[in-house]
Chains A and B, each alone.
Chain A
Amino acid sequence: DVKVTQSSRYLVKRTGEKVFLECVQDMDHENMFWYRQDPGLGLRLIYFSYDVKMKEKGDIPEGYSVSREKKERFSLILESASTNQTSMYLCASSLQSRGLYGYTFGSGTRLTVV
């Protein structure tokens, strides 16, 4: 069964901490994405990557960075966590298909910043 695995289901961090959210996929997908989900809002794209060492800003990249050193792994970094980054974070991957295949999502990391 193909999978996107996110390292933590729940995470509690303090304001100002540097936070790493890890995502690994085993499908050899080229594209990987980080989204956040907040109540009443749709999935909002933070960053995406088309290939190793490639990254592109999404709709809400402020306060975040990403790293993709290997094809299967895409990390989201909160440089200095703030309470407004409390959210559900979803990682996804897809074939390099311009959206002609559906995305495969991880089960999410619920991050609370206190």
Chain B
Amino acid sequence: ILNVEQSPQSLHVQEGDSTNFTCSFPSSNFYALHWYRWETAKSPEALFVMTLNGDEKKKGRISATLNTKEGYSYLYIKGSQPEDSATYLCAFISSGGSYIPTFGRGTSLIVHP
């Protein structure tokens, strides 16, 4: 089983703060990385699919970067809002197997008004 680590496990920030968290994954056999947002009582929603080293993706105030050589991806949220409160999941896909994502345990973000 592949090791996909997310840090921190949880994060509390004030409205308006910018924040970031990390997904670490094996640096060999990289194929793709997914980021998902999972709000309470809703379905996980795909944010980004990243495939190339150096990729940067942006969706509104949320952006992500990818470093496949060192095995990490950062997710940034600029000017956090209470509606950003959710668990953020990353999922690593290796080229060496069935191309099924291995999920990290997630980072729980709570944005206080």
Query: Chain A residues in contact with chain B, CB under 8 A?
Result: 4, 33, 35, 40-45, 48, 56, 58-59, 90, 92, 98-108
Contacts and interface: CB of A to CB of B under 8 A. Distances in A.
B62 to A, nearest CB: 14
Interface residues of B, number: 28
24 contacts: A33-B100, A35-B103, A40-B105, A42-B4, A42-B89, A42-B102, A42-B103, A42-B106, A43-B91, A44-B103, A56-B98, A58-B100, A59-B1, A90-B43, A98-B31, A98-B32, A98-B99, A99-B93, A99-B100, A100-B51, A102-B46, A102-B49, A103-B34, A108-B43
Interface of B: 1, 4, 31-32, 34, 36, 41-49, 51, 89, 91, 93, 98-106
Contacts of B36: 102-103, 105
A100 B100 contact: no
B31 A99 contact: yes
